[in-house]
Structure 1
C-alpha cells in the first residue's frame, strides 16, 4: 500500500478533510501546471496557492469535501484511495470551474476571505480560467487508465450539465417574482446535489464497486448535497463572515432567492408578504433593511423549515449509505463528513 492508503485508525471529519486536501493538492497542482500560463496564474490564485503576481500565499483553498467523498467512496466499496485520486482531482476541478463562473455571474467580490478571481483578473479571464479547469477535469479522467474511465466521464459530464441547468434556473429567479418552492428545490438538486452525488459515484466506480453500491453511494451524495445546500443557505443569511468568507447577509444583499427566502416568500404569512415587498424594491437594501429581512424570514418559519429539511435529508442520506454495505471504517467516515457538511456552523 502507498502512504495515501495508510491512515490513523480513528479520524474526525475535519481530519479526513485535511487528509483529503493533503493528498489531492499535489495532483491538482500537477494538473494545473499543464495549463497555459495565462490560465495557470488565475487558477492558482483561485485555489489560494499564490497571489495575483504568482507569489506563494497561505490562503484558504477550501474544505475539499468533494474529493474526500471520492476517496472515501472508493474505500467504502473495498478499493483504494490511490486508485481514485484522478477522479478526486477531477471533481475538485469541476467544482472550482463552477465557483469561478458563479462569482462572475453573481458579481461576488469575496470568496474564501479574499477578492474573487474576476475582481482581480477581469471577467473574461476568469471565465476562460473556469473553462480551462473543466476541460482539464475531463482530461484527467480520460488519461487515468482506469477501466471505468469512459463511464466516469459520462457521470461527471451529466453532473456538470445538471449544474449548468441549476445555475441557469438560479439566474432566472433573479428576474422573477413568482418562484415556486419546488422550482427552488429542483434548482438546488441540480446545482449542488448532482455534483456531490457524482463524487460519491465516481469513488465507487474507481474503487471497482458493484453497480448497486455505485447507485446507493450516488443517492447518499445527492441527499447530502441537498442537505448541505439547505444548511448553506441558512449560513448565507445568518452565518458568521469569519466562517463563510462573505459579508453578513450576503445573499439578502443580492436579493438572492435561496431556499429559506423562497420558503418565506411563498409561506402566505404576513412576514412573507412584507419580505416580498422588500425584495421587489429597486434600491439597494440598507443595513437596517437587511437585518429586518432576515427577521422576516425567521418569523415566516423559513429558517426552522430549512433546518428541519436539512436534518431529514441527512437521515435519508445515511440510510442510503447503510444500504451500500460500505467497509465499516469508510462508511463511518462518510457519515461523519455528511454530518459536518450539514452542520449549522460549517
Structure 2
C-alpha cells in the first residue's frame, strides 16, 4: 500500500526553507558546506541537490498554530528553530551511532569527517535559539526556553541510548524513558511551541504538548518496526538492520524482558560476543514474533495514537485540527 505524504509536510518545508538557508548562511564556509550537504541542498562536491527531510516537526509547529486560530507566520521562525535542533541531533546521532547512510546517501561525517560533522551539529544548535528569538511573537522568550529544556531532554535520551549499548540488561521502563527524551520530547515541543507563539492559553498549550508527546512515542514505535521489518527500498536500510547491530529498541527490550523461552533465547543471542550470523539475525526476528513483541509494538502504537487524539480533542482548539489528525495517521501508516 502506497502511503501518501500529507500536503502539510511540503507546505512546512516551503515555509521554513528561506529561514533555514538564511540561518545556515551565517556560518563560516567550512561549517556551512557540511550543513548544506546534511540538509540535502548540495551534494558532496557542493553542486545543487534536493534531498529534503520529511519536515514533520516544522509541520507540527505550523499546524498547532493554525489549530489555536493563531497567526501562522508568527510560528514560522519557531518551526525553523525546531528543525535546526532536530538536525543538530541527527548530525550527532549519525556520528555516535556509526550510521553511514541517511536519505539514501552517505552521512555527513563519512564525507567530511567526524570533527566537521560534530561542529556542524553544534552550529545548528546555536542557530536555533537565534532563529526562535527573531519571531515577532510576544511569547518568543517562552518558546525559546521551552526549546532549550527540550534539548536537555533530547541529550539525556541520547545518553541513555548510548549507555544501553554497553549493558546486557535494559529495563522496559527505562527504555520508555529513553524514547521519551530522545524522540517524543522534540515532537511534543513542536506542538507546544506552535501554540505558544500563536498565543494559545496554557490549557491548550499543555494538551497540544500531550498530543505531541504521544505522537512522538508512536513515531518511535513505528521507526522500531521499520528498523526490523521495513522495506529497504523505502527505509534506505538493510532488512533486519536493527537486529544485525543488536540495537535495544522497544520491541527488542520488550522481548528481552519477557519470561518465555523466546525471550531467553533472544537474551543469549544478544549476549554472545561474536557478531550475529545472518541465520541468527533471522532467528532473532522470529523470536520477537514468538515473544509477542511485534504484536505488542503495533498495538502500543495504536494505543498511543488513540491517547494523542484524546489530548487533541480536549485541547479546546478554536481553529482547525484536521492537519494534525492527518499527520497522526501518516505517522502510523508511513513506510520510511
Same fold (TM over 0.5): yes
1:12-91 equivalences under 5 Å are 14-59=6-51, 61-91=52-82
Q: Structure 1: any 5+ residue segments left out of the alignment?
A: 1-11
Q: Pick one of 108, 131, 146 that aligns with 2:137.
A: 146
Deviation per CA, 1:69-115: give whole Å up to 9, x if none: 00001111111221110000000000010010000110010111110
Q: Secondary structure at the match of 1:342?
A: helix
What RMSD over aligned residues (CA atoms) do the two structures have, in Å? Answer: 1.3
Question: Is 1:227 the equivalent of 2:218?
Answer: yes
Once residues 305 and 316 of structure 1 are traced to their aligned partners in structure 2, the CA distance between those partners, rounded to angstroms, is 16
CA contact (8 A) 1:41 1:54 kept: yes
Q: TM-score with structure 1 length normalisation?
A: 0.94
Deviation per CA, 1:284-321: give whole Å up to 9, x if none: 22222212211111111001001111100100000111
Q: Secondary structure at the match of 2:206?
A: helix
Question: Is 1:333 the equivalent of 2:323?
Answer: yes
Partner of 2:197 in structure 1? 206
CA contact (8 A) 2:74 2:135 kept: no
Partner of 1:5 in structure 2? none
Once residues 73 and 133 of structure 2 are traced to their aligned partners in structure 1, the CA distance between those partners, rounded to angstroms, is 17
CA contact (8 A) 1:13 1:336 kept: no
Q: Secondary structure at the match of 1:214?
A: helix
How many residues end up aligned between the 2 structures? 333
Once residues 278 and 72 of structure 2 are traced to their aligned partners in structure 1, the CA distance between those partners, rounded to angstroms, is 47
* 144-153 or 308-317: bigger deviation: 144-153
CA contact (8 A) 2:137 2:198 kept: no
Q: Structure 2: any 5+ residue segments left out of the alignment?
A: none
Give the superposition deviation at 1:272: 1.2
Give the superposition deviation at 1:344: 5.5
CA contact (8 A) 2:255 2:293 kept: yes
Once residues 141 and 334 of structure 2 are traced to their aligned partners in structure 1, the CA distance between those partners, rounded to angstroms, is 37
Deviation per CA, 1:181-227: give whole Å up to 9, x if none: 00101110111111000000000011111111111100100010011
Q: Pick one of 271, 275, 278 that aligns with 1:284.
A: 275
Q: Secondary structure at the match of 2:117?
A: helix
Partner of 1:7 in structure 2? none
Sort the Cα spacing of 1:325 and 1:13 in 2 relative to 1 into closer, same or farther, 3 A: farther
Once residues 244 and 56 of structure 2 are traced to their aligned partners in structure 1, the CA distance between those partners, rounded to angstroms, is 27
Once residues 37 and 231 of structure 2 are traced to their aligned partners in structure 1, the CA distance between those partners, rounded to angstroms, is 24
* 161-170 or 248-257: bigger deviation: 248-257
Once residues 114 and 69 of structure 1 are traced to their aligned partners in structure 2, the CA distance between those partners, rounded to angstroms, is 26
